[in-house]
Amino acid sequence: MAGKKNTEEPSREKIITSEYSELMQKSYIDYAMSVIIARALPDVRDGLKPVQRRTLYDMEELGIHWNSPYRKSARIVGDTMGKYHPHGDSSIYDALVVMAQDFKKTLPLVDGHGNFGTIEGDSAAAMRYTEARLQKVTEEAMLADLNRGVVDFGPNFDETEQEPLVLPCMIPNFLINGSEGIAVGMATSTPTHNPGEAIDAEIAVMENPDITTKELLRIMPGPDFPTGGIVVNKQDLPEIYETGTGKIRLRGCVTTEKGKNGHVNLVVTQIPYTMIGTGIAKFLADVAALSENHVTSDIVDISNQSSKEGIRIVIELKKDTDVSNFENLLYKKTKLEDTFGVNMLAIHNGRPETMSLKDVLRANVEFSFEVTRRKYENLLAEEKKKREIQEGLIKAVNVIDLVIEILRGSKSRQQAKDCLVFGKTDGIRFKTSANRAMAAQLQFTEPQAEAILNMRLYKLIGLELDALVKEHETTVANIYNYEEILEKKSVMTAVIKKQLLAFKAAYPQPRKTKITDAEAAVYVEKQPEEADVVFVMDRFGYAKTLDLATYERNKEAATEANKFLLVCRNTGRVCLFTDMGNLYTVKVQDLPLSKLRDKGKPIDNISAYDSTKETIVCAASQSDLNLYRFLFVTKNGLVKLTDGGEFDVSRRAVAATSLEEGDLVVAVLPVTGQNQLVLATEGGYMLKLDLDEVSLQKRNAKGIAGIRLTKEDAVEDAWIFAKREAPTITFHEKTIDLGSLRTAKRGTRGSKQ
Q: Angle at which helices 89-100 and 50-61 pack, to 10 degrees?
A: 80
In a domain, 464, yes or no: no
pLDDT tens figures, 629-642: 999 999 999 999 99
Please check whether residues 305 and 432 belong to one and the same domain.
Answer: no
CA dist 286 and 25 (Å) reads: 45
Say which CATH number the domain at 581 has: 2.120.10.90
DSSP secondary structure string for all residues of 69-94: PPEEHHHHHHHHHHHT--S-HHHHHH
pLDDT tens figures, 423-466: 888 888 888 888 888 888 888 888 988 888 888 776 666 657 78
Please check whether residues 322 and 410 belong to one and the same domain.
Answer: no
CA dist 91 and 85 (Å) reads: 9
CA dist 334 and 283 (Å) reads: 6
CA dist 732 and 747 (Å) reads: 23
Q: Inform me whether the pLDDT recorded for 131 exceeds 70.
A: yes
In a domain, 176, yes or no: no
The most confident of 186-190, 327-331, 461-465, 518-522, by mean pLDDT: 327-331
CB 233 within 8 A of CB 249: yes
Percentage, residues of the chain above pLDDT 70:
94
Residue tagged active-site, from 28, 31, 129, 480 = 129
Backbone angles phi, psi at 657, to 5 degrees: -160, 160
- Strand segments, DSSP code E, in 191-291 are 230-231, 245-251, 253-258, 264-270
Please check whether residues 561 and 658 belong to one and the same domain.
Answer: yes
pLDDT, position 170: 93
Report residue 709's pLDDT band, with 50, 70 and 90 as the boundaries. Answer: very high
CB 602 within 8 A of CB 542: yes
Q: Inform me whether the pLDDT recorded for 239 exceeds 90.
A: yes
Report residue 184's pLDDT band, with 50, 70 and 90 as the boundaries. Answer: low
Please check whether residues 137 and 282 belong to one and the same domain.
Answer: no
Other CB atoms closer than 10 Å to residue 686's CB: what's the count?
22
Please check whether residues 409 and 323 belong to one and the same domain.
Answer: no
Q: Which residues of 645-663 are buried (b: 16+ CB within 10 A; e: fewer)?
A: ebbebeeeeeebbbbeeeb
pLDDT, position 28: 63
pLDDT, position 76: 97
CA dist 638 and 705 (Å) reads: 5
Q: What is the mean pLDDT of residues 188-192?
A: 93
Q: Which is nearest to 573 in space by CA: 587, 562, 559?
A: 587
Last residue of a domain, one of 301, 335, 369: 335
Q: What is the mean pLDDT of residues 490-518?
A: 94
Q: Which is nearest to 73 in space by CA: 10, 134, 141?
A: 134
Please check whether residues 618 and 717 belong to one and the same domain.
Answer: yes
Q: What is the mean pLDDT of residues 721-748?
A: 89
Q: Inform me whether the pLDDT recorded for 303 exceeds 90.
A: yes
Pairing of strands 264-270, 253-258: antiparallel
- Between the alpha carbon of residue 478 and those of residues 447, 603, 679, the distances in Å are 20, 82, 110
* Residue 408 amino acid letter: R
In a domain, 354, yes or no: no
Please check whether residues 548 and 675 belong to one and the same domain.
Answer: yes
In a domain, 54, yes or no: yes
Reduce the DSSP state of residue 104 to 3 states and report it: coil
Please check whether residues 155 and 287 belong to one and the same domain.
Answer: no
Last residue of a domain, one of 153, 168, 183: 168
Q: What is the DSSP letter of 475?
A: H
pLDDT tens figures, 8-17: 555 567 777 7
Reduce the DSSP state of residue 621 to 3 states and report it: strand
CA dist 276 and 255 (Å) reads: 20
Please check whether residues 568 and 705 belong to one and the same domain.
Answer: yes
Q: Which of 9-13, 194-198, 265-269, 579-583 has the lowest mean pLDDT?
A: 9-13
Say which CATH number the domain at 258 has: 3.30.1360.40
In a domain, 186, yes or no: no
Check if 129 is active-site.
Answer: yes
Residues 6+ away with beta carbon under 8 Å from 352:
36, 37, 41, 183, 186, 345, 346
Please check whether residues 408 and 331 belong to one and the same domain.
Answer: no
Any bridge partners for residue 583, and if so which?
Answer: 577, 654
In a domain, 701, yes or no: yes
Q: Inform me whether the pLDDT recorded for 571 exceeds 60.
A: yes
Q: What is the mean pLDDT of residues 563-574?
A: 90
pLDDT tens figures, 389-411: 888 888 888 888 888 888 888 88
CA dist 725 and 676 (Å) reads: 10
Please check whether residues 288 and 422 belong to one and the same domain.
Answer: no
Percentage, residues of the chain above pLDDT 90:
61
Last residue of a domain, one of 335, 362, 383: 335
Q: Which of 215-229, 363-377, 403-417, 668-682 has the lowest mean pLDDT?
A: 403-417
Please check whether residues 648 and 728 belong to one and the same domain.
Answer: yes
Say which CATH number the domain at 91 has: 3.90.199.10
Q: What is the mean pLDDT of residues 125-146?
A: 95
pLDDT, position 3: 47
Number of domains in the chain: 4
pLDDT, position 232: 94
In a domain, 536, yes or no: yes
Instruction: Note down the domain range covering 416.
Output: 404-441
Q: Inform me whether the pLDDT recorded for 39 exceeds 80.
A: no
Q: What is the mean pLDDT of the chain?
A: 89
In a domain, 27, yes or no: no
Q: Inform me whether the pLDDT recorded for 61 exceeds 90.
A: yes
